[in-house]
Chains A and B, each alone.
Chain A
Amino acid sequence: MTDVGTRPATLDKRGLSDEQLLAIFRNMLLQRQLDNRGFQLNRQGKVPFALGSEGHEALQAGAAMAFHRGKDILAPYYRDLGLAVGIGLTPFEILLSLFARADDHNGGRQFPNHYSSKAAGLMSFSSILAAHIPHAVGAAYAIKYRGETGRAVLATCGDGTTSEGEWHESMNFAAIHKLPFVMLVENNGWAISTPLSKQMAEPEIWKRAAGYGLPGRRFNGLDPIETYAVVSEAMERARSGAGPSLIEGTCYRFLAHSTDDNDMTYRTREMVEEYRKHDPVPRFEALLIQNGLATKEQVDALRKDVLRETNEATDAAEALPYPVPADLYTNVYEGAWQPWQ
């Protein structure tokens, strides 16, 4: 797996402003903090389940910066906390999802991290891997069919999802119809306990693009600037009507699959410690400081601000009520639910 590597003397911002770079960094810090909060709340017995995105921060913060709010559609998967907050979901909304409160977009029905927000352009999705990819392609078809320009659908998934038939079917259809669609694979090397080597014989997923007649590209998902540049280029290509792309960002998964998974049953602590040496958060922090975009004090202040925001969101969400039992019976069909239906 590639790494950030040696930086040129002058930071290549790839068109990003200083404010955008700092916004990316803040998103990364927020992801780390919200992830941490989910696991804390789980250990405190306050939430039954949490999923972490640690290791994906750079990839998701960079990708989110390439998303046009109010225009584009995001079809994410369950490890996309940074994309969700990056496109506009608030920490409060994230905490509502964790606590399964009634005011959550899905009314506390789904697992945490299964966000849904029509206002933010984030499509509702299930836990079934790859099932959301055809939905993203269908939405892209609708955009093209209506002749809308300047809009695209960004779908994401992990490396394991690319083994599913629906993933292949969706890529094939998107390519045939030259849809405004970008498939972003977040390759962290693990599908719960199954390593990439047992998932596929060809570990470079982007190479499959040629088989569909698409452009494909791999990038370093530990570098948010490179991520932004590649995702942005693919999204612009899609928005302009030039068709879909398959892009693959490499990263690591520092945490277990979820709070219900013990990753020490299939990998070693040393392996995870080795991963941690490539942690994108301190690396990007160092890059910003080295290039004079932020001071250590500013970074510390940002961390405090993110913690304050997370605490406030936690308190506010926790104070709200669960759905009531009667909510179980709504939205099965349009209108009132009938027992014989």
Chain B
Amino acid sequence: MAVTETSATTVMNNVEAVRATLYEAMKNDDRTIIIGEDVGPRGNVFLITKDFIEEFGESRVIDTPIAEASIVGIAVGMAMEGLRPIAEIQFADFIYPAFNQIVGEAAKTRYRSNGEYTCPLVIRTPYGGGVRGALSHSVSIEALFYHVPGLKIVAPSFPADVKGLLNAAIDDPDPVLFLEHKKTYRLIKGEVPNGHYTIPIGKANVLQEGTRLTVVSYGLYVHWALEAAKQLAGEGLSVEVIDLRSIRPMDKETILASVEKTRKLLIVHEDNKFGGIGAEISAMVAEEALFHLDAPIRRHCAPDVPAMGYALPLEEEYMSSPERMAQAMRDLVAF
């Protein structure tokens, strides 16, 4: 963590960390523009940018028409022309109309112009379930985008990481998809250093060291994995928990070093199992560390159905829980 001016810390939750970081970014650089639906007087549906419009004006806090492709597309043009836009997609589930602008345009701008044009763009969006958000306010979208070179994807879980990584995303000269798990918005609190600091994109965080098993996760499930690991610790089983924080680029070295130590790997994510982030991590570990393994790599992920339902039993069946994670950990330790 590169802290430039840290006199103290402030306790805040994830959504407050997003707000504080955006506020500082707006204060520090007038090239920064926030563009999205309802980001103005309403302050976005989670009130993240509330009062921003009074302070920074309508030209910097742009309430857009309901048109996701052009929210991102216009931000791409702003970025190509020297501004530092932060585009917001109100819920990750609404990002699909903007898919081409992210994948086909933003991610390829530097490459297709051989570096003549760049796209320093941040696309922020709340994702994830456990909030009774039903089919269209609960999805995880990371696997749809992590196949794309030229794009960076960040998904922090703790308030201090939210701030450090969002600052890094804003500073980044390339497009960054910044995923905020909406259930962690108010649920997760922590100390956040005051002042400007960044956390490098692409560095995972070993949250807890252990010897019997490595668990790799990100987002809400990191918190549940920690709870599960606590249960196992009570049973005398030491689990190493890694928070990826960045999905692309991904911290290969940290994962490999951990697997070589514990010799067992469990990947836990909220997104569907098939073709998910876990598939890539599994392949990477199989390619690079197969003979360090004492057990098959396992993935504890969502079932392959389109989304979690609105009804509580449907949501609970789709999502994992600390108890289910703990069981998956026990099973793998016992292999």
Taking Cβ atoms with an 8 Å cutoff, the residues of A that contact B are 73, 75, 104-107, 109-110, 114, 116-118, 123-124, 126, 128, 131, 133-143, 145, 165-166, 169-170, 172-173, 176, 330-334, 338, 340-341
Contact = CB atoms under 8 A, between A and B. Distances in A.
A324 B334 CA distance: 52
A137 B108 contact: no
A331 B104 CA distance: 15
Contacts of B59: 145
B77 A141 contact: yes
Contact of A166 (B70, B85, B117): B70
B69 interface: yes
B153 to A, nearest CB: 11
A258 B213 CA distance: 58
Contacts of B202: 341
A123 B101 CA distance: 15
Contact of B78 (A105, A106, A138): A138
B110 A116 contact: no
Given A134-B101, A139-B78, A166-B73, 7 more contacts: A106-B114, A116-B117, A123-B77, A131-B105, A169-B65, A333-B110, A333-B174
Given A135-B105, A137-B74, A341-B249, A173 B116 contact: no
Which of B77, B116, B249 gathers the greatest number of chain A CB atoms within 10 Å?
B77
Contact of B74 (A123, A124, A138): A138
Contacts of A138: 73-81, 83, 85
A46 B78 CA distance: 38
B150 A332 contact: yes
Contacts of A106: 112-114, 116
A139 B81 contact: yes
Contacts of A104: 114
10 interchain residue pairs of minimum CB distance:
A138-B77, A134-B73, A169-B70, A135-B77, A107-B114, A124-B113, A142-B81, A139-B81, A341-B249, A138-B74
A321 to B, nearest CB: 15
B65 A176 contact: yes
Given A124-B113, A139-B81, A145-B59, A170 B174 contact: no
Contacts of B76: 134-135, 138
Contact of A109 (B81, B100, B112, B173): B112
B236 interface: no
A338 B202 CA distance: 11
Given A123-B117, A131-B100, A334 B174 contact: yes
Interface in B77-103: 77-83, 85, 97, 100-101
B116 A332 contact: no
A172 B67 contact: yes
Which of B69, B74, B249 gathers the greatest number of chain A CB atoms within 10 Å?
B74
A141 to B, nearest CB: 6
A142 B113 contact: no
B112 A126 contact: yes
A340 B252 contact: yes
B138 interface: no
Contact of A118 (B67, B79, B111, B117): B117
A142 B249 contact: no
B250 interface: yes
Nearest to A167: B70
Given A126-B104, A139-B81, A166-B69, A109 B75 contact: no
A114 B114 CA distance: 13
Given A134-B74, A169-B69, A126 B108 contact: yes
B233 to A, nearest CB: 31
Contacts of A166: 69-70, 73, 101
B115 interface: yes
A167 B65 CA distance: 14
Nearest to B253: A340
Contacts of A126: 104-105, 108, 112
Interface string B287-311: 0000000000000000000000000
A139 B69 CA distance: 16
A143 B81 contact: yes
Interface string B102-144: 0011001111111111100000000000000000000000000
12 contacts: A105-B113, A106-B112, A116-B117, A118-B113, A124-B109, A124-B117, A134-B101, A138-B85, A165-B97, A170-B74, A333-B174, A340-B249
B70 A173 contact: yes
Contacts of A331: 110-111, 114-115
A169 B67 contact: yes
Nearest to A341: B249
Which of B80, B83, B114, B248 gathers the greatest number of chain A CB atoms within 10 Å?
B114
Contact of B77 (A139, A172, A340): A139
Nearest to B66: A169
A105 B73 contact: no
Interface string B135-159: 0000000000000011010000000
B105 A136 contact: no
Contacts of A107: 114
B81 A170 contact: no
Interface in B168-204: 173-174, 202
A106 B149 CA distance: 17
Contact of B250 (A169, A170, A334, A340): A340
A307 to B, nearest CB: 30
Contacts of A173: 64-65, 67, 70, 74
Contacts of A123: 77, 80, 117
